[in-house]
Amino acid sequence: MFIDERQLRARAGHGGDGITSWRREKREPRGGPAGGDGGDGGDVVLMADVQLSTFGDMEDIRLARGENGERGGKNKCAGRGGKDRIVRVPLGTSIYDVETGDRLADLAEDGQTWIAARGGKGGRGNARFATALDQAPTRCEEGTLGEERVVRMQLRLLADVGLIGLPNAGKSTLLSRLSAATPRIADYPFTTLAPHLGIVDLPDFTRFVMADLPGLIEGASEGHGLGDRFLRHVERTRVLLHLVDPDPMDGSDPVENYRTIRGEIEAYGHALGSRPEIVAVTKADVWGDEGPPEELLSPLAEAADRKVHLISAVTGKGLRDLLATIVRTLAEAPPAPEVPDRLETASPDGGEDEAAAE
């Protein structure tokens, strides 16, 4: 299943109570107050982890609890603080408040953290209240309750180059050829149901991140197929690499297929239509040495209003020229856009049994 949105209830630990206690030692008949403080409750912390690609890779939890702090002890001994609950999430996770819809955090760097719920403070023991006027205080404090908050997490992949195109256009094969990523590859549509990231290292020490994104279909901007779950990931890519299958299994026209994808990109909005785009016809090896027919390349170049690259991920044909174009385009491309400040959509399973999580 392709998972890029998840709801989480964060419940921090409660602070431990302080206690009232007195020193009871030999030759100390009037031992003073000795009640210790309670320990602080543990926080619930979200941490970005580069090892995670999607929410499907993280642990399946709906409720994250911080540990409660322990109550204070005798002889001014403080209670142990509760352990923090660390929840690891993929890079590119944006966090929104469910009630207000406001963006709370954007975890875009490996190891970056955000406290979803703060633990309660431990209460003070009676030893804390001793003064010159009150040398035997009998009062102590209860620990405060930890915070509780429900957040919605949305994942938008952080990649320099996003591979787009209809299903079975050769995106996974190209990513596996250019990087060490190992996406699923097969000769049928929708092999890729979840995005894959690969790092492309070039001999001149140039490096960029490429994302193999699930294939679009007509009507994706209206929610068909993987719909806006796919398009949401395209939002944070700097350059679009549009792959066109020259010989679709369904017998459709490659030029019309290109126009279909462009139409979905522009219909989605969010300035995707103005993102730098590189167009490449894949599977050049099917023509052998003869090369593709001119009646394919010319109309496609005219529809795209740009040069069309001819590549083969199997033989390596055209890949050097394509990589050079990608590097030049990235050097001129603007930085990745910021994520929205407000929660835009709600997943159908968003309100999924919070009662069960209890």
- pTM for the structure as a whole: 0.67
In terms of Cα–Cα distance, which of 127, 146, 144, 123 is closest to 17?
123
Class of 159-332 per CATH? alpha beta
**Average pLDDT for the chain:** 82
Classify domain 1-156 by CATH architecture: Distorted Sandwich (2.70)
Pairing mode, strands 207-212 and 159-164: parallel
Question: Would you say residue 132 has pLDDT above 60?
Answer: yes
Predicted local confidence at residue 29, as pLDDT: 61
Domain ranges of the chain: 1-156, 159-332
Between CA 297 and CA 320 the distance in angstroms is 19
pLDDT, one tens digit per residue, over 269-319 is: 667 788 899 999 998 887 776 666 777 888 999 999 999 999 998 889 999
Task: Using pLDDT thresholds of 50, 70 and 90, give the confidence band for residue 228.
Answer: low
